[in-house]
Amino acid sequence: MRAAIAGASGYAGGELLRLLLGHPKLRIGALTAAASAGTTLGAHQPHLPQLADRVIEETSPQTLAGHDVVFLALPHGHSAAVAAELGTDTIVVDCGADHRLTDPAAWREFYGGAHAGSWPYGLPELPGQREALKGARRIAVPGCYPTAVTLALFPAFAAGLAAPDVVVVAASGTSGAGKSLKPNLLGSEVMGSVSAYGVGGGHRHTPEMEQTLGAVAGTDVRVSFTPTLAPMSRGILATCTAPAVPGLTRQALRAAYHEAYATEPFVSLLPEGAWPATAMTYGANTAALQVTLDERAGRVIAVIAIDNLTKGTAGGAIQSVNLALGLPEELGLPLTGVAP
């Protein structure tokens, strides 16, 4: 089977290619982009020497046609038009935000413009979601932060152990901001510095977290989300807290997480006393998770590490595609991080 990548010169595109090179069932087909069309991939992804001489084509219905899977790693608002031109038998995977939100009002509030509608949400670990992805022909890849936060907190909400008043602070590596040439993303600015951005409820991933957690909780969940930028290329560490329900014990909390993740291949609940570090998941499709009860403050504290480009984007995308194609879910996805 052949997969095309639209947006092949960017960071998400590069990670898709890295993983597809190790995938036994998906062959890499067309590589397309906008500004980079006509150049070779080696100029953009020098860590992929096997593809160095591949020429990037224009993103268009023609160049993307004839593939079994099309990954769209495009800016917001560009996916719907491309997808409309692709056959309904083609698996179209939107790594952007266009098809994540089910609520048009939330879309308008956070993104503006017309809502493209929602596609099956590519987070197989969510209750019921694995089934929904089997045979899917359109897949909305979750945002990197919502992937982390949902995995960290849904077991507490599924078990009715937390109140729906969530506070999340997350640190992300700079690749989460893409390859855009902004002064605040220069190495000189980010090295040796942690900074905040998108503070105060305005980050576009907020309604997505409220959507996933609210669906599990069966009630509206409010999320106060503060993202920060950390001096590393990859990785998200999210500290996710919610008020504990009265009488909750550490044991009951832990048991709920054990149950939620007992058979999940990609989520490790760490042993007691160990806490996640993003290095544990560097380049892997895994999540390292820990949870505890802050008894003084009466809060559930779940901390999770993922690689924003792997489990947070490209790996999660391929995991869902595996399900859509009826392949083993883990196929071609690294369980081992690169450390130190």
Query: What six digits make up the tokens of 138?
Result: 């359109």
Whole-number Å distance between alpha carbons of 270 and 297: 23
The most distant pair of C-alpha atoms in the chain lies apart, rounded to whole Å, by 62
Q: How far is the CB of 232 from a second copy (least distance, A)?
A: 5
CB nearer to a second copy: pick between 39 and 62 = 39
Whole-number Å distance between alpha carbons of 215 and 4: 32
Measured in whole angstroms, the distance separating CA 165 from the mean position of its chain's CA atoms is 23
Q: How far is the CB of 172 from a second copy (least distance, A)?
A: 9
CB nearer to a second copy: pick between 181 and 262 = 181
Q: How far is the CB of 29 from a second copy (least distance, A)?
A: 18
Whole-number Å distance between alpha carbons of 139 and 110: 21
Whole-number Å distance between alpha carbons of 296 and 178: 40
Give the closest residue to 212 by CA, choosing from 244, 172, 164: 164
CB nearer to a second copy: pick between 21 and 132 = 21
CB nearer to a second copy: pick between 116 and 223 = 223
**Annotated catalytic, 144?**
yes
Single-letter code of the amino acid located at 84: A
CB nearer to a second copy: pick between 66 and 109 = 109
Whole-number Å distance between alpha carbons of 234 and 94: 21
**277: exposed, middle or buried (C-beta count within 10 Å: 0-12, 13-18, 19+)?**
middle
Handedness of CA 128, 133, 136, 140 (dihedral sign): positive
**3-class SS of residue 115:** coil
All residues at 6 or more sequence positions from 311 whose CB lies less than 8 Å from its CB, including other chains? 147, 266, 281, 284, 285, 286, 287
Whole-number Å distance between alpha carbons of 306 and 304: 7
Q: How far is the CB of 240 from a second copy (least distance, A)?
A: 10
CB nearer to a second copy: pick between 7 and 276 = 276
All residues at 6 or more sequence positions from 121 whose CB lies less than 8 Å from its CB, including other chains? 100, 129, 132, 140, 142, 212
Rg (CA), the chain: 19
Catalytic residue selected from 144, 216, 217, 230:
144
CB nearer to a second copy: pick between 85 and 197 = 197
Handedness of CA 266, 227, 140, 313 (dihedral sign): negative
Q: How far is the CB of 333 from a second copy (least distance, A)?
A: 11
Active site (catalytic) residues: 144
